[in-house]
Amino acid sequence: MSKKPNNSVTTSWVDGELRLVGALDSRMIGLLRAIEQSGSINQAAKQTGLSYKGAWQMIERANNLAPKVLITTATGGSKGGGTLLTSAGLSLLQLFTRLEQQHRQFLQQLNQSLADDPDMQILLKRQVIKTTATNQLFGVISAMQTGAVNGEVLVELKGGEQIVATLALTELKRLELGIGGDVVLLINDPEIIVTTDPDTSLSARNCLRGTVIRVQYDGVDSEIVINLPSGDSLVATISQVSALALGLSPGIFVYAVFKSNAVILGARITGTSDI
């Protein structure tokens, strides 16, 4: 018997806290729940991570804002007093619990609709990728060539720019790359050479033309932000002496040059939801 594909949502793209008017949010409701269970403000404060004073301040504010008193306290007596929810407090707790369930169902429906939209998936997945590499570009594999040890992958950016990445054959196999596949390109900023002369004799395979949009000096190095025709940006770190010698400033046309083995490729493995 074949298994049906699992289309359940594994990533929460949309999230949000349920909050009623005034101070009636999940934190206040959590305090009410703890009071209802323990009958003690002191214990409820500990359970919810509040100070005793902070819990009292929340209770006083909630009581003042509500049309009916939510919490009553008693001191002394044979049982030493305690804190109780009034009928209004219990009604509010029940209402919020019911709204929380409806809120969760609503968020699940939103996330499922996003999971079913391939265009939205591509957009959202790109927003959540975390990496230590300064530069993160997305493109589509347009060509591949393999040799005895390494392979070359040609990636086209959304503006038509081409980037060559060199990987070991074992890495190509593990990533299961193919023509037309979406990939992310990771390039560390020190790997990029900045030049104003396209005829400079360099062994690097990649040479992208762009416009300087920002130059920032730190006394030793300089950070150069280059805007590509695609709208993507590249960040390069070069010495401050080099930046001054090149006369780099916003609006200057430059070339970002880097070797093919400086590019790290990331791809979505078949059957997973991550790039």
- Contact yes or no for 262/166 (Cβ under 8 A): no
Q: Provide the mean pLDDT of the chain.
A: 79
Q: Which CATH class is domain 26-115?
A: mainly alpha
pLDDT per position as a tens digit, 156-191: 988 889 999 998 888 888 888 889 988 888 888 899
∠ Cα 30 36 40 (to 5°): 95
Q: Which DSSP string corresponds to 122-134? A: HHHHHHS---S-S
Q: Domain map of the chain by residue range?
A: 26-115, 125-267
Flag residues of the chain having pLDDT under 70: 1-24, 74-81, 114-133, 200-201, 268-275
125-267: CATH topology is OB fold (Dihydrolipoamide Acetyltransferase, E2P) (2.40.50)
Alpha carbon distance 193, 207 (integer Å)? 9
Alpha carbon distance 49, 27 (integer Å)? 10
Coil, helix or strand at residue 171: helix
- Contact yes or no for 36/85 (Cβ under 8 A): yes
Q: Hunting for tokens 């939205």 — which residue is that? A: 120
